[in-house]
Homo-oligomer: A and B are copies of this chain.
C-alpha cells in the first residue's frame, strides 16, 4: 500500500503545474555568448577589451594569471535594465532576483525572421504560441527565437553592417519585437523578455517604441542571447543574472536554462 501511495504521489507531482525542478539533475544550456574582441556592440558603442596584467610563473613559485577589462554596458549577451529607456524606472542593481528567474516560454519566429530580416514579432505570433501551449503566465520569461544566434558575431550578417560609427546605424537590419507584441506581453505580466538579436526593437527602429513600452512597465530585455534551439517551448527554467553595476542602465548578463 505504501508503494501505491508513493506511485500516486509521483503521479501527482509530475502532473502538478508549477516550477519545481531538481537543479542537481537534468541539464543546463548556456545562452550566453563569451565576451571577447569579437563581441557585438552597437555601432556607436565602446567594444569589449581585455588586457593582461600577468600570466605565468611568479617569483613566489606559483602560477598566476589576471586581466583587466572594459566595455559598454550594452553589448555581447547583456541586459537592458528598465532605466535604459524609461526615466525613474529600475536600474540594473535594483531588479529583484525573483524577476530574473522564472519559467521559460520560447516562441520560435525563425521562419518569419528568415523571410524578413526586419521582421517585428506580432501579437498574433504570441497568441498563436498560446493557442498551442496555453496562456503565457505572470512571471514568465519569454524568449523570442529568431534563429539568428548562429550568425553572431559576424556583424555584417548578424546586424546588417560591420561598420562602426553614427552613419552605420541606418544600415542596421535584424528582427525585433513589435510594439503590439510588447503591449500584449506587458498585459500578460511577464517578468522579462529576451531574444537572439542586438536589440529588442528591430534594427530599423527610429523611436525604440518597444523598449519604451516594456521599460515603462519595469520589464527588462535580454539581448544577443545565444542559441535557443536546445530549449523546449515550455518546461525550462531561465536564470538570468546580470553584473550588479550600481546605478547601471544594463550590463553583461549570464543567462542559462535548466532542463528537467
Contact = CB atoms under 8 A, between A and B. Distances in A.
Interface of A: 5-6, 8-9, 12-13, 18-25, 28, 30, 32-36, 45-46, 50, 53, 55, 57, 60-74, 77, 83-87, 93, 96-98, 101-103, 139, 206-208, 211-212, 237, 239, 241-252, 254, 256
Contact of A101 (B23, B207, B212): B23
Contact of A13 (B13, B62, B246): B13
Nearest to A9: B9
Does more than half of chain A's interface fall in helix, strand or loop, or is it mixed?
mixed
Nearest to A33: B244
A6 B35 CA distance: 48
A57 B244 CA distance: 25
Nearest to A4: B5
Nearest to A245: B35
B207 A62 contact: yes
Contacts of A45: 53, 66
A60 B208 contact: yes
A218 B19 CA distance: 32
Contacts of A60: 206-208
Contacts of A139: 24
A35 B243 contact: yes
Closest 9 CB pairs of A and B: A70-B70, A9-B9, A241-B254, A34-B246, A28-B97, A36-B246, A63-B87, A65-B249, A241-B241
A64 B85 contact: yes
Nearest to A32: B244
A192 to B, nearest CB: 14
A66 B250 contact: yes
Contact of A8 (B9, B20, B247): B9
A19 B8 contact: no
Contacts of A25: 19
B63 A86 contact: yes
Nearest to A98: B28
A8 B9 CA distance: 7
A68 B69 CA distance: 11
Contacts of A69: 70-71, 73, 245, 248, 251
A213 to B, nearest CB: 11
Contact of A67 (B67, B73, B102, B211): B73
A83 B33 CA distance: 20
Contacts of A249: 55, 65-67
